[in-house]
Structure 1
Amino acid sequence: MVRALRLASALVLAFLASATVTAHEESSSELRRLVTLSRHGSRAPNDVVKAICPRNQANVEAYKVPLTQLTEIGMNQLLAVGDHVRHTYMVDEPLHEEAFLSRSLNGVNHSHFETYFRADAATRCSQSATALGYGLYPDGTGPVGFPHQPVPITMQLVENEHAFAAPKGPCKSTMNADLAKYAETRAPELFEQYRDVLDQVAKVCGVPIEDMAKVPGGEDVVMSVKDVADMFVFDRDEGLPLPEGMTVDLREKLEELAFTNLMERYYTTDREITYWVGGFGDLLMNTLRGGAVSTAPSAGQYRYFSFHGHRELLHGLAMMLGWDFHFEGLPEALNVTAVHPGTTMFFELRARKLTAEEALELPGALEAYFVRTYVWSPYTEREQVKLTKCSAKDCPLDEFSEIITGHIARTGTWETICDYQKPVPGQSGGQAVLAQGPVVEGHRGFSTCNFLVVMGIAMVVGLAVAAFKVYSARRNGYSPV
């Protein structure tokens, strides 16, 4: 009996020791690349609210920025995102989790920019990227002789923006057809459920809900409800008073309706999710895979990729990945909540040593890669996220990629769904295909052939000039020296 107990104790100790080693191996990893996707900060309402809610004109005129653009509160929200990234990842911050970024944008030995900024075509998104840059690289971190640190931000024209705004460009007709169907089916049901709310809002604004789509610049009724709901939320963020007849309860119910509309009409099917994410899934996957090499990050590479878009992209990507947003106090639909302005999704590409079993299965591999995900907002703490579609909290890179590629395989690509044909350079009506991913500039020298061509042209031009001078001199009675 005693011998059996000793044997059992030995087995338990061995198991615990094995578990400890396994836990240590899992926690011992290195950050190889950081990617974030941020919603823009709080902004001023859309222009159309002046026509669809004229009784809130005093609040609309109280904004100190142009309509649709980032407010000072929104700027501070993204500044806070930059502060958070700096405190979490910068080498000389006392509480950093990992010494990954150097103090300067210019990188180690000033060899290459460490951070790549890219924003949606909307100016409030590029403003958000700029504000994050201020928080990440505050005054004093610029090059010697210039204390500020300007950050370059890559953008596309909206018609060419396939990674951040496919529904506003090549997928616009597909989206409009889906929205028209929603407006005829589900939207009337929701409007009937919220009829009392809509009638009260109409009195507050001075325009019947059904007439809002008919005003100059108006869209459909669902978008009108969204514009008015956003306006009252932005007014709240700005500290502006409620207009006559408006209450906090009424505002929250209107926000609830608007969010339900947003989620149900954009993400009810996998097909819709695919084209709302557009090319961003490929951009994210390729960016992460670009760091999955044993030499990363090198001094000649970006370490941090800071992407900036609208809430629709965050929600679409979250639905694709199985990333459930749960922010207390925000409206809920399709089992997830809305997101705060400035909400940021973090994707850490990390590397760890291979286990003995993995080394046998993958003889050519040097290390294993996985993606660790976090969410942070200006109003909530940093929190690690377990993707519901992944088998582990630290999601293996191959499995993470399969979530995206598997989703697209089921629905077809966004190009197929939207019947989009990429322009081919050189063909009639074609144009150059714009890069949708980060491009590292390189120095290109003349080839020998180019050099000879240039020298030949220079000699011909030189002889022609000399001949002209001789001819001119003779005509004027002078002889060349």
Structure 2
Amino acid sequence: MSTPSSNTTTADSELRLVLSLTRHGSRAPNTIAKSLCPKNLGNFAKYHVPPEQLTEYGMEQLRRAGDHVRNEYVHKAKFLSPSINGPDHFHFESYFRADSADRCGQSAIAMGYGLYPDGTGPKGFEKQPISVYMQLLKNEHEFAAPKGPCKAVNKADINLYQSTRGAELIEQNRPMLEAIGKLCGVNVWDIPNLPDGEDIITGIKDLADMFTFDQQQGLAPLAGLTPELQTQIEELSFTHLMERYYSTPRQVTYWVGGFADLLLKNVHQPTRPTPDEGGFKYYSYHGHREMLHGLGKMLGWDFQFKGLQTALNTSSLHPGTTMLFEVRERNAKFFVNTFLWSPQTGRDAVHLAKCSALDCPLDEFAGIITNHIAETGTWQQICNFEPTTFAPVVHPATVAPAANASAAPQYTFRLPTFGGLLAVLALLAMFVHRVVKRRDTGYKALA
């Protein structure tokens, strides 16, 4: 397992790039929790934001994360400039990208408030707006492959878990679940049959999250909910999350999805003889807890937050938890330092369990990822995903063999038939419609 280490790093190295992956901050419960626990509706009315969205506490957690990055890399390391515009006003130094969920985009913006506080904007405008890149969910392969191209594979794995190990855990916790159902005013076994119902394991997660978020919001607990009951359902929910998503290396691969390739691309940026003109000094990524846990399992980075639930040798995460990666150079050799920060614990250096040293050689760091993927296959292979194109693919089996392979090629030109012309025009119209639709829905391609 990974182990916390001292915060000191050798002074004889040069910091070349910083990258972070941050869980969104505290949020309001999901809408369905109103149906799962109608006796807790009073607490719903006390949130100042819509369901699922970042609360004022979550915003402050991410602002503090940005303040930490500013303190470490602007003030202490003198690596980043006080302004996102850089010393020469030539190119933005920082790049922010978020999962397609609103709360992840909000988290990125809130982190920007901490990294670039009032007064760091251009002369005449004291605030510093940041650009946050987001994809539509259907196009999001770096942060949400299980919700898109890997949806069918993920669903099959979840169904298998729910009918085996998941069902065993539910039966073991039957008295606790029935007690919570009584407090909420529902029969927990009827959750799948509610008008907006969901499977029982997801229902348990939404109930546990609701109790956790209420506590983070400083609200009174549901009447009759004891600390013991809350702890039990939170432990069950976290065990379900870890076991149904990360029990095999194959699952880890598709849960990390395209982010593994993105991470490798970024950390190798400083090794290029001529760095890209469009490269950034700091990459700030924002996602859900599932992405951090998946990447942690891939890298051998277990989390050890005291007092939080544990499963598969790792703990759950505080809102705003941030994984930090520093790419450094010493004697023309590159290595990676890893750190963990959260609003509750501050910053700790982390020695990855799969790496030979705290100063993890870049080649070895990259090998951890590539070796894992070589063992399981790529997420595209696991999920049978192939990017679609507008041009039809002609498979060899559909091509008629030549009558005489040795004969000289014959070239002929035929005018298209009326039907063929109509087909071409229809394809052209469909293409134009798709382009206009993507433009109007805010689609933006990312490098």
Shorter-chain TM-score range = 0.7 to 0.9
2:215 is aligned with 1:215 = no
Tell me the TM-score normalized by structure 1: 0.79
What is the CA–CA distance in structure 1 between the aligned matches of 2:309 and 2:30, rounded to whole Å?
21
Cα pair 2:26 2:319 within 8 Å, conserved: yes
Tell me by how many angstroms 1:216 deviates.
Answer: 2.2
Cα pair 1:283 1:436 within 8 Å, conserved: no
Match of 2:179 in 1: 200
2:67 is aligned with 1:75 = no
Match of 2:293 in 1: 315
Tell me by how many angstroms 1:195 deviates.
Answer: 1.7
Pick from 266, 269, 273 the counterpart of residue 252 of structure 2.
273
After superposition, residues 330-345 of structure 1 pair within 5 angstroms as 330-345=308-323
Segment drifting more, 237-246 vs 212-221: 212-221
Tell me by how many angstroms 1:136 deviates.
Answer: 0.4
What is the CA–CA distance in structure 1 between the aligned matches of 2:278 and 2:290, rounded to whole Å?
33
Match of 1:401 in 2: 366
Match of 1:389 in 2: 354
Match of 1:226 in 2: 205
Match of 2:375 in 1: 410
2:45 is aligned with 1:61 = yes
Match of 2:32 in 1: 48
After superposition, residues 20-35 of structure 1 pair within 5 angstroms as 27-35=11-19
2:144 is aligned with 1:165 = yes
Secondary structure of residue in 2 paired with 1:324: coil
Secondary structure of residue in 2 paired with 1:35: strand
Pick from 301, 314, 321 the counterpart of residue 279 of structure 2.
301
What is the CA–CA distance in structure 1 between the aligned matches of 2:129 and 2:346, rounded to whole Å?
28
Q: Structure 1 regions of 5+ residues with no counterpart? A: 1-23, 354-366, 440-481
Tell me by how many angstroms 1:426 deviates.
Answer: 3.9
Q: Which amino acid is the alignment partner of residue 289 of structure 1?
A: H
Secondary structure of residue in 2 paired with 1:252: helix
Q: Summarize the Cα distance change of 1:170–1:300 in structure 2 as closer, same or farther, 3 Å threshold.
A: closer
Secondary structure of residue in 1 paired with 2:301: coil
Segment drifting more, 198-207 vs 226-235: 198-207
2:118 is aligned with 1:153 = no
Question: Of Structure 1 and Structure 2, which has the larger fraction of its residues in helix?
Answer: 1
Render the CA deviation track for 1:29-87: whole Å, top value 9, x for unaligned: 11111000000000000000111110100001110100000000000000000000000
Cα pair 1:163 1:436 within 8 Å, conserved: no
Tell me by how many angstroms 1:244 deviates.
Answer: 1.3
Tell me the TM-score normalized by structure 2: 0.85
Cα pair 2:24 2:107 within 8 Å, conserved: yes
Tell me by how many angstroms 1:373 deviates.
Answer: 0.2
Secondary structure of residue in 2 paired with 1:330: coil
Secondary structure of residue in 2 paired with 1:108: coil
What is the CA–CA distance in structure 1 between the aligned matches of 2:32 and 2:184, rounded to whole Å?
12
After superposition, residues 67-146 of structure 1 pair within 5 angstroms as 67-90=51-74, 93=75, 96=76, 98-146=77-125
Q: Which amino acid is the alignment partner of residue 219 of structure 2?
A: L
2:260 is aligned with 1:259 = no
Q: Which amino acid is the alignment partner of residue 19 of structure 2?
A: V
Render the CA deviation track for 1:151-181: whole Å, top value 9, x for unaligned: 0000000010000000011111111111111
Render the CA deviation track for 1:333-379: whole Å, top value 9, x for unaligned: 001100100000000011111xxxxxxxxxxxxx1001100000000
Q: Which amino acid is the alignment partner of residue 42 of structure 1?
A: S
Tell me by how many angstroms 1:252 deviates.
Answer: 1.1
Root mean square deviation, CA, Å: 2.0
Q: Structure 2 regions of 5+ residues with no counterpart? A: 1-7, 393-426
Render the CA deviation track for 1:402-422: whole Å, top value 9, x for unaligned: 111111111111111111111
Match of 1:360 in 2: none
What is the CA–CA distance in structure 1 between the aligned matches of 2:186 and 2:23, rounded to whole Å?
31
What is the CA–CA distance in structure 1 between the aligned matches of 2:304 and 2:152, rounded to whole Å?
32
Q: Summarize the Cα distance change of 1:342–1:25 in structure 2 as closer, same or farther, 3 Å threshold.
A: closer
Aligned pairs, how many?
Answer: 396
2:267 is aligned with 1:288 = yes
Secondary structure of residue in 2 paired with 1:349: strand
What is the CA–CA distance in structure 1 between the aligned matches of 2:12 and 2:445, rounded to whole Å?
34
Cα pair 2:66 2:114 within 8 Å, conserved: yes
Tell me by how many angstroms 1:436 deviates.
Answer: 7.5
What is the CA–CA distance in structure 2 between the aligned matches of 1:225 and 1:378, rounded to whole Å?
26
Tell me by how many angstroms 1:435 deviates.
Answer: 8.3
Secondary structure of residue in 2 paired with 1:146: coil
Render the CA deviation track for 1:399-450: whole Å, top value 9, x for unaligned: 111111111111111111111111224447998999886x4xxxxxxxxxxx
What is the CA–CA distance in structure 2 between the aligned matches of 1:218 and 1:257, rounded to whole Å?
20
What is the CA–CA distance in structure 1 between the aligned matches of 2:277 and 2:149, rounded to whole Å?
37
Tell me by how many angstroms 1:300 deviates.
Answer: 5.6
What is the CA–CA distance in structure 2 between the aligned matches of 1:272 and 1:208, rounded to whole Å?
32
What's the % identity of the aligned pairs?
53
What is the CA–CA distance in structure 2 between the aligned matches of 1:435 and 1:37, rounded to whole Å?
22
Segment drifting more, 160-169 vs 191-200: 191-200
Cα pair 2:269 2:279 within 8 Å, conserved: no
Tell me by how many angstroms 1:183 deviates.
Answer: 0.8
Q: Kindly indicate whether structure 1 or structure 2 has the higher relative contact order, using CA contacts under 8 Å at least 6 residues apart.
A: 2
Tell me by how many angstroms 1:219 deviates.
Answer: 1.6
Cα pair 1:107 1:299 within 8 Å, conserved: no
What is the CA–CA distance in structure 1 between the aligned matches of 2:13 and 2:274, rounded to whole Å?
15
Match of 1:346 in 2: 324
